[in-house]
Amino acid sequence: MNQEMAIHKKKVEEAMTFLAKRIAEPPLVILALGTGLGGLADRMGTATTIPYQEIPHFPCSTVTSHAGNLILGRFSNRPVAILQGRFHFYEGYSTRELTLPIRVLSLLGARFLIVANASGGLNPDFSPGTIMIIRDHLNFIGENPLRGPNIDEWGPRFPDLSEPYERALIEKARYCAEKLGITEICTGVYVAIPGPSLETPAETRYLHNCGADAVGMSTVPEVIVAKHAGLKVLGLSVVANVNDPDNLSPILLPDIIAKAQTAAPRLARLIESILLELGHD
């Protein structure tokens, strides 16, 4: 193990030690919330809220639409750790740094990751406000959080990503959406780009031609680390706008946040229903 990885391992262990003293029960599920979706945490009721800056070595969210709290409690009667606001490569973090919270919570006992984000639609058949269940992804960030020496007790050197998003969880999400009468839902491929600049028309066309249905600047590094740690993953993406490269309008962050917040109540009901379907075995 080189010095850089040894330092990272020490940081993970110190964050674990800090949190282990403050959690009433190990989280079963990590719920990572993205742009405009942090309000879902308000539905938890009684919970312990710890600002990221109080947790040793946790990154801090610098984007105003990301609150920056770890919230521990019960959601749909399941022990959950909510990451209210996430971290991004474009903020200056390495993918190893921005995935440290996923690594820490996985080592504290989490078995599932439900990751939610807001994205730009690339598929012309999509409509703004649609919830896309992620079935696969493309990592165009240009960095992998597992690069460097592997820590064998954390996971295998070459983790299998033939099923990055659990098929059984995708089917649960589809079933729950149908049960709730949520019709604005689909499945698709998500592509992660570095950011923070949004896509040019040529980039929009290229990403769609590569097989992507929606584009964003997060999620994929967290999923890679979660799979390395043996977690089962479900990805949900709120399509905030649909990019037409031949008639591209300005894409503004306030509009993306507003559309994500409009869809947030439907997403919250869906996540609550999915959590009820998760067992402890």
**pLDDT of 77:** 82
- 52 within 8 A of 59, measured Cβ to Cβ: yes
Residue 107: pLDDT band (50, 70, 90) is very high
Mean pLDDT of all residues in 112-131 = 93
- pLDDT exceeds cutoff 50 at 280: no
Mean pLDDT of all residues in 19-47 = 80
Kindly report which listed range (7-11, 44-48, 124-128) carries the lowest average pLDDT score. Answer: 44-48
pLDDT digits (tens, 9 = 90+) for 35-87: 656 566 676 766 889 999 999 999 987 665 556 899 998 888 889 999 988 88
Structural domain tally of the chain?
1
Q: Could you say which DSSP state residue 217 is in?
A: S
| Domain limits for position 77 | 3-277
Mean pLDDT of all residues in 4-11 = 93
CATH number of the domain that residue 124 is part of = 3.40.50.1580
Quote the pTM value: 0.93
3-state secondary structure of 160: coil
List all residues 6 or more positions away from 55 whose beta carbon is below 8 Å from its beta carbon: 15, 18, 19, 70
CA distances from 155 to 10, 102, 107 (A): 17, 13, 11
Mean pLDDT of all residues in 146-169 = 97
